[in-house]
Amino acid sequence: MNLQEFTSKVIPLKNKLFRFAKRYLERPEEAEDIVQEVFIKLWVRRDKLDEYRSVEALAMITTKNMCLDKIKTKRYPVDPIDDHRRFMENLPEEQKKDYSEEMYKVRQAMKSLPQQQQMIMQLRDIEGYDFESIAEIMEMNENAIRVNLSRARKRIRELITTSRIYDYQRN
């Protein structure tokens, strides 16, 4: 694969890889570092990339593995509420209005899921991958992907419904 092919096939994956890495690491600067490292690894292996059925799937698998390695080597506490607060502070005023309390609850509910279910939801519901691609990226069979996705969605519905009932009773 030459520079032009690499630029047209791999570089456009940047945003997907970033969102995927950020879901694991939850810190944008670390997610950016991972994406850069993935690009370097793929560039070094550029002569062999044509052997793969999907360069995108390879990039996603590489990103996942590098994120897991980072988490293993550096166990750090994550405060989702503080992360959300910092995120909202950095948004322009007109964009802050676009983020409702419901979206915050959905994000919090999603963060309460097991990491595997979070990744599957990210890939399917946010990135739009098909089940076959998710199975390849997550190194699981398609039925397990479907079951995990179903359980994750059900749990989020339960958490959001419970939250609404609690909010109603409180008022």
Residue 33 above 80 pLDDT? yes
Average pLDDT for 132-147: 90
Q: Average model confidence (pLDDT) for the chain?
A: 81
In this predicted structure, the answer to whether residue 77 has a pLDDT above a threshold of 80 is: no
Give one DSSP letter per residue of 38-61, joined into a string.
Answer: HHHHHHHTGGGGGGSS-HHHHHHH
pLDDT in tens, 100-136: 566 777 778 888 899 899 989 888 887 788 888 889 8
List of residues 6+ apart from 34 with CB closer than 8 A? 17, 21, 25, 63, 66, 67, 70
| CA 13 – CA 35 distance, rounded (Å) | 9
